[in-house]
Amino acid sequence: MKKIIFSLLALSLIVVSCQNDQIEEIHEHQEITVDMSDFYVYTDDVCTSKSSDGKHTHKCYSMTVLNRQLKENPGLENRMYNIEKHTRKAIVAKSKTDINGKKPAPDGGDDPVPYVGSITIPVIVNILEDPNHPVTQAHINSQIDILNEDFNNNNPHTGGVPAEFSDVVANLDITFVLAGVNRKASTTSSWGTNDAMKYSSQGGIDATDPSIYLNFWVCEIGGGILGYAQFPGGSLATDGVVIGSDFFGENAAGGQYGHGRTATHEVGHWLNLRHIWGDGRCRQDDFVSDTPSSDGANYGCPSYPTYNCKSNDMTMNYMDYVDDNCMYMFTSGQSDRVRALFTTGGDREGFVN
């Protein structure tokens, strides 16, 4: 009720102050509202499937780390809610703008303005060196090349996208540029997932300003985990992506995960993408309208189609768990989610301003 009274008051003020400015009044009336009733942050971190070699039940540990961070940081859930709300508003606003990002009058109001054009992300690679799992400059360079392939729809396997999904394949138009490499000798053979590698006080390497750099930490994680990322909204000190040494870049030691796609998947999380199956069986979604619902992760290299939750799985999406050579697409809906972070008021706006 309080809200309605406030709205009426605001409306009367606008009518008084904008009698000669009808457009201004229309802006106020058309402010975007979005439905947030399906929003969730806590997820099941139990997987029943396994990779083909049985070693990587949890290929990616991002959701488990998120559950931990939500418990440790009471403000995080609210921040993620607000980022999600802004994302949804930005996606609605995008549908109301022309290709140059201009709003056709008289629309607008406080809508987030979509960011148009290529986005450049400077990358810092922090390496905790283990002589048994070397990370060379060639590995680093190949990882940057692979990210640039995948975020610009130049993956060599993209021809494998089935006709059913070919209309929604997206070019995110994001370029990654190597800005620096930090190396530190380490005798730790299993860093785990508690972010110790991100603090020099715990033997790791401190992040380089995560408001303008994407930080990678490359180290031995242990537990069969390939990598994990922090979602937008978390603490700046730990913002970035952790990748196991053998899975960074083109690296024969990584086997079927040695082609750099763990980083693509984890950067997807860092850019606010959820797992394609929504981490909750058929009942939870990934907040993307053009990715089919699914009941869980796919592993190996599934042959199309695999059917779950009344639709064919998009197993070739980077946000599934399949082998590196079997993932080769993002969708337009995922692109909209990612690029919403770079709109006015977006959580990663600092990268474009």
3-state secondary structure of 143: helix
Cβ closer to Zn ion: 123 or 273? Answer: 273
What is the DSSP pairing of strand 119-129 with strand 174-185? parallel
Q: How far is the CB of 62 from Zn ion (least distance, A)?
A: 5
Interface with Zn ion, residue 322, by CB under 5 A: no
- Residue 270 Cα distances to 166, 227, 229, 234, 326, angstroms: 25, 12, 6, 10, 21
Cβ closer to Zn ion: 60 or 329? Answer: 60
Q: How far is the CB of 76 from Zn ion (least distance, A)?
A: 18
Can you tell me the distance from the alpha carbon of 216 to that of 267, in angstroms, rounded to the nearest whole number?
A: 9
Q: How far is the CB of 191 from Zn ion (least distance, A)?
A: 18
Q: How far is the CB of 60 from Zn ion (least distance, A)?
A: 3
Cα angle for residues 267, 272, 274 (degrees, 5° grid): 90
Q: Which stretch binds Zn ion (CB under 5 A): 54-62, 142-150, 213-221, 236-244?
A: 54-62
Interface with Zn ion, residue 298, by CB under 5 A: no
Interface with Zn ion, residue 267, by CB under 5 A: no
Residues 228-247 that bind Zn ion (CB under 5 A): none
Interface with Zn ion, residue 263, by CB under 5 A: no
- Tell me the residue nearest to Zn ion as measured from the CB: 60
Supply 65's token pair: 């780390």
Interface with Zn ion, residue 294, by CB under 5 A: no
Question: Which has the closest alpha carbon to 314: 329, 325, 300, 335?
Answer: 329
Cβ closer to Zn ion: 321 or 342? Answer: 321
- Residue 10 Cα distances to 16, 19, 25, 28, 107, angstroms: 10, 14, 11, 9, 19
Site for Zn ion (CB under 5 A): which residue of 51, 56, 58, 62?
62
Cβ closer to Zn ion: 60 or 214? Answer: 60
Phi, psi of 173 (to 5 degrees): 55, 50
Interface with Zn ion, residue 65, by CB under 5 A: no
Q: Which residues are catalytic?
A: 266
Q: Which stretch binds Zn ion (CB under 5 A): 1-9, 55-63, 141-149, 287-295?
A: 55-63
Can you tell me the distance from the alpha carbon of 313 to that of 300, in angstroms, rounded to the nearest whole number?
A: 14
Cβ closer to Zn ion: 62 or 264? Answer: 62
CA atoms lying within 13 Å on the CB side of residue 349: 12
Site for Zn ion (CB under 5 A): which residue of 60, 66, 267, 288?
60
Cβ closer to Zn ion: 86 or 265? Answer: 265
Phi, psi of 242 (to 5 degrees): -110, 130
Q: What share of the chain is helix, strand, coil (3-state, %, to 5)?
A: 35, 15, 55
Cα angle for residues 298, 232, 152 (degrees, 5° grid): 60
Task: Write the interaction track for Zn ion spanning residues 273-292; mark x where CB under 5 A is met and - where it is not.
Answer: --------------------
Q: How far is the CB of 256 from Zn ion (least distance, A)?
A: 16
Positions that interact with Zn ion (CB under 5 A): 60, 62
